[in-house]
Amino acid sequence: MKDIVVIDDEIYICNIIIETLDCFDDCRVHQFTDPVEAATHISKNNVDLVLTDLVMGDYSGVEILETTLKNHPDAVVILMTGYPTVKTAISVLRKGGYDYLVKPFKLEDLKATIMRGLEHQRIKRENVELRSQVELMKIAEAMADGVQLKSLLNLIAKSAVRELPAKAASIVLFDPMSGEGRIKSIYGTAGGNDVEAFLHGESPQCRRTMTSLHPEFISEEMNDNDSPYHRTLVSFPLVSKRMLLGLLNVIYDNRFMEISTGQKRLVSLLASKAASAIEANNLHQDLQHSYLQTIASLANAIEARDHYTAGHTDRVYHYAEVLARQLNWSDARLNQLRNGCLLHDIGKIGIPDNVLNKPGFLTVEERKIMEQHPELGARILSDVPFLEPIIPYILTHHERYDGTGYPQGLKGEDIPMEGRLLAVADTFDAITSDRPYRQGRAPELAIEELVCHRGTQFDPHMVDLFVSANERGLVRVEHSEKMPAPAPLNATV
């Protein structure tokens, strides 16, 4: 039902217009000769189209126009006047008026103008998403650029609030293990325990959506300080291949109308974007997990070939993490550190057993073969894009601070920080662990070796941090008591 308001201080003109509007189906017409009464009605009731005279005593039709658009931004306002000027017409259109009729006008012209106005409004309301193409493009670009899932979902929730416009929006991810949802993103504010439960995916409406995989739209009349308005709660399932991924929940408040078809379509588009982002993130994580499982199996295969290095990667990670936390590394960088430690010796899978497990010191030729393992490891990982950040761990953990290391002979801070850090952690474990050619040494003697080679083999700052951490009890050595070797050790792995 369309609500049309007709305003003219001459009653016979109102009557003529109302008779003309009889041919429009599904319309409710309200007529006023007093513009003040008309403005009050417009402020308190739903309005779709307004026909108003431009000059009504001391009251201007422009004031009606402004009042209408303030309360009903998508309403159609048509002004009528018997004293037209170009300046007035331009002013009316600039203020948002839809059209301008000059009295006397033909009733057919009036009908045609009203029909065009209502059709314009219908298209405008049914195609809310067209006004949101910029937001949707931003979301698509963010997805293409690999923006982190949380940031992407925040952008989608923000777009829902801004473009509908809505009171608040949230995205809840479904946990198949517990069968419950967990809030991932929320934007906007809306008070009340029932509203909070809805936004967090804990309301009966949300549970129905999770079960049925169909969107739920619940509208209710609210009253705030004797000012009634409509509230619509939208719970839209995020689905991929008939599997529930989560919910997009939206709270839409409007004084005069429920959520429109176009707005529902926009929510559907945003839900589709959110589902695609979650699915892509899940696939990416599954792929990473598969890669890591495969490569970790290779790393375990190395340790299986040499029982002396069993548990080496886990211990190295502990020592490296102690150092990294002294450097205040982020969680993301610590995750890369974990993978770097796990795979730092992956290249040893290409080293022959007679070299890898030789129960004595290596010859010059055998040492050259052993020194190939950093480059072998880097080549193994080079075709896996997400592992690119950990290549410095694999390639440079045997470089020496004085430039005499391998494989590239890098010196000082030309050695990536990852390599300088891992060199300390790796060597500490090498010294305190048993090797085919010697027994492991006590942690105190390993610290002495690190200090002894500070500034030659190792970055002085890294050694100082490790020594300090050890003095504070942060370095946990998980070995049985070691017997010191009879001669000084050249700290190599």
User: pLDDT higher for 26 or 465?
Assistant: 465
For residue 484, pLDDT over 60 is answered with no
The predicted-structure confidence for 436-452, as pLDDT tens digits, reads as follows 667 778 999 999 999 99
> Any idea which of 56-70, 326-340, 346-360 has the lowest mean pLDDT?
346-360
Mean pLDDT of 113-125: 87
342 and 377 both lie in a single domain: yes
Q: What is the pLDDT of residue 485?
A: 37
List the helix and strand counts (H, then E) for the chain.
19, 12
Q: How confident is the model at residue 420 (pLDDT cuts 50, 70, 90)?
A: very high
pTM beyond cutoff 0.85? no
Q: What is the pLDDT, as a whole number, of residue 132?
A: 61
Of 279, 296, 320, which residue sits at a domain end? 279
Instruction: Please indicate, yes or no, if residue 489 is contained in any of the structural domains.
Output: no
Confidence of residue 127 (pLDDT cuts 50, 70, 90): low
Specify the length of the chain in residues: 493
Residue 131 has a pLDDT of 61
Residue 284 within any structural domain of the chain: no
376 pLDDT higher than 70: yes
List pLDDT tens digits, range 28-40: 899 999 999 999 9
Q: Which of 54-58, 89-93, 115-119, 423-427 shows the lowest mean pLDDT across its residues? A: 89-93
Asked whether residue 100 falls in the same domain as residue 214, the answer is: no
Mean pLDDT in residue range 211-238:
86
Question: Which secondary structure element, helix H or strand E, spans residue 168, and what is its range?
Answer: strand 168-175
Is 326 inside any structural domain?
yes
- Round to whole Å and give the CA distance between 470 and 152: 41
Whether residue 491 is contained in a domain is answered as: no
Selected residue with higher pLDDT from 141 and 458? 458
269 within domain boundaries: yes
Side chain identity at residue 15, one-letter code: N
Are 198 and 252 members of one domain?
A: yes
> By percentage, how much of the chain surpasses pLDDT 90?
44
Higher pLDDT, 133 or 52: 52
pLDDT at 137: 72
Return the closest-CA partner of residue 342 out of 316, 306, 377, 307. Answer: 316
Please check the confidence at residue 486 and state whether its pLDDT lies above 70.
no
At 393, is the pLDDT very low, low, confident or very high (cuts 50, 70, 90)?
very high
Q: How far apart, in Å, are the Cα atoms of 457 and each of 126, 340, 402?
A: 70, 20, 6
Strands ordered across the beta sheet of 49-53:
27-32, 2-7, 49-53, 76-81, 99-102
481 domain-assigned: no
Q: What is the CATH number of the domain that holds 462?
A: 1.10.3210.10
Determine the angle formed by the axes of helices 460-471 and 417-432, rounding to 10 degrees. Answer: 50
Same domain, yes or no: 209 and 352: no
- Give the pLDDT confidence score for residue 309 in this predicted structure: 60
Q: How confident is the model at residue 481 (pLDDT cuts 50, 70, 90)?
A: very low
Domain check: are 36 and 109 in the same one? yes
Mean pLDDT of the chain: 86
CATH number, domain of 158, equals 3.30.450.40
- Residue 353 confidence (pLDDT) above 50: yes
Residue 173 lies in a domain: yes
Position with higher pLDDT, 222 vs 328: 328
Task: List helix spans (H) across 403-459.
Answer: 417-432, 443-452
480 in any annotated domain: no
Structure confidence at residue 142 (pLDDT): 75
Which is higher by pLDDT, 3 or 191? 3
**What separation, in Å, do the N-terminal and C-terminal C-alpha atoms of the chain show?**
82
Whether residue 102 has pLDDT greater than 80: yes
Q: Looking at the structure, tell me whether residues 383 and 432 fall in a common domain.
A: yes
- Supply the CATH number for residue 87's domain: 3.40.50.2300
Structural domain tally of the chain? 3
Residue 259: predicted pLDDT: 81
pLDDT number for residue 187: 92
**Cα–Cα distance list, 52 to 37, 59, 394, 414 (Å):** 13, 11, 78, 77
The domain in which residue 61 lies consists of 2-126
Residues 62 and 98 in one domain: yes
Same domain? For 344 and 445 the reply is yes
According to DSSP, the β-strands at 168-175 and 180-188 are antiparallel
Question: For residues 407 and 375, what is the distance between their CA atoms, to the nearest angstrom?
Answer: 7
**292 vs 464, residue with greater confidence:** 464
User: 184 and 262, same structural domain?
Assistant: yes
| Rounded average pLDDT over 368-377 | 94
